Amino acid sequence: MKQPWKKRALGVALLMVIGFLAWTKGESVVQVVAPHDAVRTLVIDAGHGGFDGGAIGSNGTTEQDINLSIAKRVRLLASFFGVQTAMTREDENALGYDASRSIRDNKVTDIQAREQIVKSASDPVFLSIHLNKFSDAQYHGAQVFYSTNHAGSRALAELLQDALIVGCDPTNTRQAKPADRNIYLMKTLECPAVIVECGFLSNPAEETLLGDPEYHKKLAASIVTGYLRYESGI
């Protein structure tokens, strides 16, 4: 008699072992196959890249590299829990960069390429990872912003905000807020869409934390915890 559940259980166990080993070693690129019945896709967006480095901290920390490190860890951990994922960028480069074009044109190409990745994913949930910066160094703490185009965005943002407070900084009193309507992807995407600002590079203590790969793991674990709660409707 065939026992397909055994095969599946074995597959899941194998997936968990692969994911766990990679996680403990801090490896960033491991492809884990999602279960066949997973339809929803978590599209993980590492903000900036290439010519667009994003914010720079007082000791030279650049946003784009940290965003990518956190994004890869989110993918790894989400895959470990059987979430189907897609990444907008897998390396340090911007999307569709052409040195002969203006910075403005390259920015448009890059953001439209990210939009296309989201739109071609099945049942997408868009999660963009960024770092904050402000003129006053005292401000700190992760904060989540949501698109107002889809009711799910706010629910997801609030669960992510909660998970980031519990997992990374219990003194953080920030609340999830609607994203600025001028942010292209928050305006154009119709699916659940959020921006996670993981902390302030302008705050020296938080900049140090954000430069530590161990802290990236904490951020990723919090983000995935919030996402899984959203997915399971808790």
Task: List contacts with Zn ion (CB under 5 A).
Answer: 47, 54, 130
DSSP string, 81-133: TT-EEEES-SSSSPTT--TTS-HHHHHHHHHHHHHHHHHHSSSEEEEEEEEE-
Asked if 81 contacts 224 with a C-beta cutoff of 8 angstroms, the reply is yes
Judged by CB, which is closer to Zn ion: 45, or 158? 45
Question: Minimum Å distance from CB 47 to Zn ion?
Answer: 4
Question: Minimum Å distance from CB 218 to Zn ion?
Answer: 20
Judged by CB, which is closer to Zn ion: 52, or 162? 52
In the sheet with 41-46, reading across from the earlier edge strand, the strands are 84-87, 41-46, 124-132, 193-200, 143-146, 177-178
Judged by CB, which is closer to Zn ion: 47, or 211? 47
Looking at the DSSP assignment, which residues form a beta bridge with residue 20?
none
CB atoms within 10 A of CB 81: 15
When CB distances to Zn ion are compared, the closest residue is 130
Judged by CB, which is closer to Zn ion: 47, or 124? 47
Judged by CB, which is closer to Zn ion: 15, or 55? 55
Question: Minimum Å distance from CB 45 to Zn ion?
Answer: 10
Question: Minimum Å distance from CB 48 to Zn ion?
Answer: 6
Q: Position of tokens 């959203």?
A: 230
Q: Position of tokens 């994203």?
A: 179
Question: Minimum Å distance from CB 137 to Zn ion?
Answer: 18
